[in-house]
Amino acid sequence: MEKLRLGINIDHVATLRNARGGATPDPVRAALAAEEAGADGITAHLREDRRHIRDADMEAIRQAISIPLNFEMAATDEMARIALQTKPHAVCLVPERREERTTEGGLEVAADQTRLAHYIAPLRDAGARISLFVAADPAQIEAASHVGAQVVELHVGPYCDAVDEGRADDAAAELKRVTAAAAQAHDLGLEVHAGHGLSYTSVAPIAALPQVMELNIGHFLMGEALFRGLPGAISEMRRLMDQARAAAV
Ligand code: PXP
């Protein structure tokens, strides 16, 4: 099985910085620390309301790191303009609602295929690898294969919530859906990633899925970093991912 990549989402370093309005903690420093600790990529979400990452952060992160930058964004004209200027390695399109605390559902691809195909084309032409953050839903995954995306990132939030809340039957059912979605996406020629809500207790079954090539993890690791430091928090996640991968072979 190929090695599983770990993308670190550093949005919440900016959340903490913005709580005081100053310059610390610095998300660029976090990105560099994550790179030093073995991250394979950095993910940052420039939201419409700029509640955490800001335009200048995105540019500064891209210039500072030597690993790929995954620019997470809503499929709006404003974000397309910024992404075309920033030239990230990858773009991950997510749904966005102002009132949500975090990205809640997957992107509606099936009902928006024509618009998304036109939206994706120039970003792809500019060299970005396009990922769509979708629910583990066969119709959305099928649609993702028609609009020019190279990657789907499977929304594993429902599975992680069930694990965190001790709902074993729901966790098993959600894992089944994610497993089927990963196989379907792979068969359609899409690279498969997964993310949202992953922690030390939920990561192993997702890391063991052979089609999954990358995990993107943020909130849990930033919280864990308070106690172990960012390098320690990331190393432990890396260890659990590698262990699950090795056990699955
Ligand atoms: N992937 C996507 C597409 C996301 O929107 C998020 C949350 O911003 C993550 C991964 C990371 O999720 P978490 O912070 O819960 O680990």
Neighbours of 119 (CB within 10 A): 19
- Cβ(137) to ligand 1 under 6 A? no
- Cβ(57) to ligand 1 under 6 A? no
CA distance 106 to 128: 20
- Cβ(202) to ligand 1 under 6 A? no
What spacing in Å lies between the alpha carbon of 197 and ligand 1's midpoint? 7
Looking at residue 104, its pLDDT comes to 76
Pairing relationship of beta strands 212-217 and 5-9 according to DSSP bridges: parallel
Q: For 204-247, what is each residue's pLDDT tens digit?
A: 999 999 999 999 999 999 999 999 999 999 999 999 999 999 99
State mean pLDDT over 116-137.
98
Phi/psi for 94 (5° steps) reads -130, 155
What spacing in Å lies between the alpha carbon of 84 and ligand 1's midpoint? 22
What spacing in Å lies between the alpha carbon of 195 and ligand 1's midpoint? 6
For residue 88, whether the previous peptide bond is cis, meaning omega lies within 30 degrees of 0, is no
Q: Nearest residue CA, atom 7 of ligand 1?
A: 196
Looking at residue 243, its pLDDT comes to 97
- Cβ(92) to ligand 1 under 6 A? yes
State mean pLDDT over 174-199.
98
State mean pLDDT over 170-182.
98
Judged against a pLDDT cut of 80, whether residue 103 lies above it is answered with: no
Q: Which atom of ligand 1 is nearest to the CA of 72?
A: 3
Which of 10, 46, 96, 219 to probe ligand 1 with, by most ligand atoms within 8 A of CB? 219
What spacing in Å lies between the alpha carbon of 124 and ligand 1's midpoint? 22
State mean pLDDT over 74-80.
97
What spacing in Å lies between the alpha carbon of 189 and ligand 1's midpoint? 23
Neighbours of 78 (CB within 10 A): 11
Q: What angle do CA 102, 108, 109 make, to 5 degrees?
A: 130
Q: Nearest residue CA, atom 5 of ligand 1?
A: 103
- Cβ(224) to ligand 1 under 6 A? no
Residue 231, both tokens:
């390098």
